[in-house]
Structures are given as structure tokens and as C-alpha cells.
Amino acid sequence: MCLNIFSYKAHPDYKLIIAANRDEFYVRKTEAADFRNDHPELLAGKDLEQGATWLGITKTGKFSFITNYRDPKSFNKDAPSRGALVSNYLNGSASPEAYLKSLGETQHYNSFNLVVGDLTELCYFSNVENKIRKLDAGFYAVSNALLDTPWKKLVTGKNAVETIIKQKNFNAEELFSALHNEQKADDSELPQTGVPYEIEKLISSMFIKSETYGTVCSTVVLIDTDNRVQFFERTYNPLKENKTVSFEFVIE
């Protein structure tokens, strides 16, 4: 997941709002979001190559998502799956902070940003800065740098989502529309992350599209003040049939 915009206990009608894009190679095999047979409490997509997920929520109100931190110089193709950090939290019983403390040394993973939360606590951890941040009620975003690093795509996305959710009545379709923004950053606004200019330019937009790599799905999650969850996922992969799936339940 390469862009995740989220409001936590900062909206009068919703305890949680998530609007997120996942970027990946089109050939990577993935299952759409669903309740997992092996973990029936868990609603998430599934990466069939590593067996984990990038974003999910449980019927008890635990939620988590992860993004890659772009650092090509330190990338290790044999590193363990970062998605397992999401799945292990969601399938476990530890609180957000306790879970992050239990991870111990994480430098053997490729660089990441991990958010873990429930209805009482929200935490952020990156193995780049290697510290746990407990997040207060607020409006945040993370892409492929540290939390709220003001890359153009992140600032654009936050502004668009904030405008939408300030409306008295907004819907998931408006958030999907905001996420489908293909405008690239100007050259002066491009970050310098160590990838070639052509790639940096390509992936500077909120919604990425190329011949082999791009935004393969968008996800919207809403938890209202009555603990009613609405979960929507829309897929865009040009190599497969695309669809929107939706789920609704009340947190137990």
C-alpha cells in the first residue's frame, strides 16, 4: 500500500476513516478482500506470493496497514514479508503498543511504515527511525517515506480527503474518486529517493498507471460512532477482471 490517508477519532460521525491506494506489479497474484477461511474474524486482501496482507480489519475492531519505505540502496530480495507484520497483529491478541514492543529487532525486514490500531489506541512504527509513536486523535497520511512527510501526492491526497469528509454527508464513491488522481508532481516537487528520474516521476502521482506496475486497488474503510464498519475495495489491475467489493458489520 503506497498511500494511506486516515482520520482517527477526529470526525464527529466516524471514529476511523481510511482512504488508501495499493501499488504493485500487475503480475503479482492477489486475492481480493474477504473474510479469510483460516481466520474468520479477519477481513483483508491476501498476497498469494507471501501469504500475508497489506491492510485489514477484524470483527473486534483491530486494524492495520503497511507501506514500503522507498530505499532502493538497502533493499534485500531475501528479506521476510513485511505484510506478515500486519497479519500477525490482526490475528493476535496484543494491544497496538504491546504488539510493536514485541517485534524486537526489525532491521532484517526491508524498510517499512506500519500502523496498528483499535478503537482505544493507535500506533505508528517505522524500522527506519526505529521508534514507536503513539498517535493522538488526528488526521494523518503515509506514503513511502515517514509519516506525514509532505510529498506532493500525500499533500494532494490529504487536502482532497479532508475537503470531502468535511461535508455533512459524504460517501465512499467520493473518496474513490479522490484516490484516482493521476496528476504527477512537477520536477521541482519530486523527492530524491535513489530511483531513476523516470520512475520517480511515474510514481509521484496518487494513482499510478504504467505497462507493468501501478495502483492495483483502492480501499475505503469507515467506522462510525456506533461501531458500524463499512469496508470497500475497488480493483484496477489490467490483467484481471476488476470489481468493487463491500462489507458491513458491527464491531463485537
Q: Which amino acid is at 33?
A: A
Q: pLDDT for 169-214, tens place per residue?
A: 999 999 999 999 999 999 999 999 999 999 999 999 999 999 999 9
Point out which residues pair with 224 in neighbouring strands.
14
CA–CA separation, 230 and 158 (whole Å) = 20
Q: What is the mean pLDDT of residues 77-84?
A: 95
Q: pLDDT for 12-49, tens place per residue?
A: 999 999 999 999 999 999 999 999 888 999 999 999 99
Angle among Cα 200, 220, 248 to the nearest 5 degrees reads 160
CA–CA separation, 197 and 193 (whole Å) = 10
Full-model pTM: 0.96
pLDDT at 232 over 70: yes
Give the side-chain half-sphere CA count within 13 A for 85. Answer: 31
Contacts of range 74-79, beta carbons closer than 8 Å, 24 or more positions apart: 74/110, 74/111, 75/110, 76/110, 79/108, 79/109, 79/110
Q: Which fold has domain 3-250?
A: Penicillin V Acylase; Chain A (3.60.60)
Mean pLDDT of the chain, nearest integer: 96
CB atoms within 10 A of CB 143: 30
